[in-house]
Amino acid sequence: MRVLVVGGGGREHALIWKLSQSPAVKKIYCAPGNAGISSLAECIPVKAEETEKLQKFAREKEIHLTVVGPEAPLSIGITDLFQENGQLIFGPCSRGARLEGSKAWAKEFMTKYNIPTAQYEIFKKPREAYRYLKDVSYPAVVKADGLAAGKGVIIAEDAREAAEAVHYIMEDRAFGAAGDSIVIEEFLRGEEVSVFAITDGETYYPLASVQDHKAIYEQDRGPNTGGMGAYSPAPILSEQLAAKVIRDIFEPLLAGLKNEGINYRGVIFGGLMITPEEKLKVLEFNVRFGDPETQVLLPLIESDLCPLLYEAARGNLQSVSPPKWSSYAAVCVILASQGYPGKYEKGKEISGLEKVSQFENAAVFHAGTSFEGNRTLTAGGRVLGLTTWDPSLKDALAKAYKMADLIDFEGKYFRKDIGHRALRRTE
């Protein structure tokens, strides 16, 4: 089987790492890929959003399955284009991708199908939003409606900060067209957890729970990033709560999508808040594998990933068994560039990668890297994802931080408290 993976970050590296272990997969291409991915797949110089070029490439190379990593190509209709041309692709159509592409649409969908979420209002004009801010309780959450690479959510402590957030998103156009409209919603207290499922629109297989760390600084302070680390499974999600996820979120979500005439084939990714009363509320839905959540999910799947994605894309997921899970815990620690998620410099040489090859049950997933001659250089805000898995989370974390000390580049930054909630809970 020939497989094309769309994207060029740590999530895509992890997907390719796992797919390359399948006896069914003979050749993997990646568009555009990165320095680490190039050791496992043939990288092609096509951007993830260049959907027509990707469709033509897949036809010319007789690709059997295309797997889409990032959300942007899904939102602009890569799946629709491939399906119109009779090509198999894993990822929802553009209508299904609105679950992530439009927070306003997603909130209205959840309300319509009784999926628990925070109270909210939607605004298309700044002056109406400013007027509303006088009546809300604080803290409050201001969200850009469209895609903002995980950075379009601002928690405002008071009316002044909320007004600044509205101005930043809608008038300064910090996220471009993603800020044409905004959602202002109640601030939920509790602990976050990410839940996933692979589905063909009818059958679905839940995946292990994950908790990621969005804030740039330790103790969850500072602006949100695309994710500074993650671990799985998340002990906060008990068996009882996992059953609630299926009953109150996955089931009504799939029923609602079907009712809307959306044939959803791909990943369901729910970001949830577990309140102190152990109630579940959906913070957001995403329509693809998470990053860095994928880096800790895939090492824990002991079975072959390829048949799951292939049969889900064909609408025949029930023909394969659910994934078999390891009893280990997995963790990912992100090494980032100084200045991220703001401005940062690229082109810093990375050293020490060869030193970590000694570690067992470990992988280095490249998120933002490039090659120049025989040197590996930084090429993004999130540079590397150091992933390890062991019988205990504590041991996995210790190994990941040993790796972090061995790898170096100018301006290297990483959080030193990944997994702190789980460690407190288990201790």
- Decide if 252 is inside a domain: yes
User: 315 and 217 in one domain?
Assistant: yes
Distances (CA, A) of 290 to 127, 268, 298: 34, 10, 11
pLDDT reported for residue 425: 84
The CA-based dihedral angle spanning residues 386, 292, 418, 282, taken in that order and rounded to the nearest 10 degrees? -170
Structure confidence at residue 149 (pLDDT): 74
My answer on whether 365 and 398 are in the same domain is yes
Q: What confidence tens digit (pLDDT) does each residue in 233-256 have?
A: 999 999 999 999 999 999 999 999
Residue 349 within any structural domain of the chain? yes
Q: Does the structure show a pLDDT above 80 at 35?
A: yes
Together in a domain, 305 and 339? no
Instruction: Confirm whether 113 is domain-assigned.
Output: no
- Whole-angstrom Cα distance, residue 209 to residue 242? 9
Q: Which domain holds residue 215?
A: 189-319
Q: pTM of this prediction?
A: 0.95
| Assigned domain for 6 exists | yes
Q: What is the CATH number of the domain that holds 194?
A: 3.30.470.20
Helix (H, G, I), strand (E, B) or coil at 369: strand
**Claim to verify: residue 130 and residue 216 sit in the same structural domain:** no
Q: pLDDT (tens digit, 9 = 90+) per residue, 43-87? A: 999 999 999 999 999 999 999 999 999 999 999 999 999 999 999
The C-alpha angle 5, 10, 11, rounded to 5 degrees, equals 55
Token couple for 285: 């839905």
For position 32, which CATH number holds? 3.40.50.20
Q: Are 35 and 366 in contact (CB under 8 A)?
A: yes
What's the domain count of the chain? 4
pLDDT at residue 151, rounded to an integer: 76
Mean pLDDT, range 130-153, rounded to an integer:
90
- Verify that 194 and 298 share a domain, yes or no: yes
pLDDT for the residue 385: 98
Percent of the chain past pLDDT 90, that is, above it, reads 95
The pLDDT value recorded for residue 148 is 85
Residue that is last in its domain, among 186, 204, 235: 186
Let me know whether 86 and 164 are in one domain. no
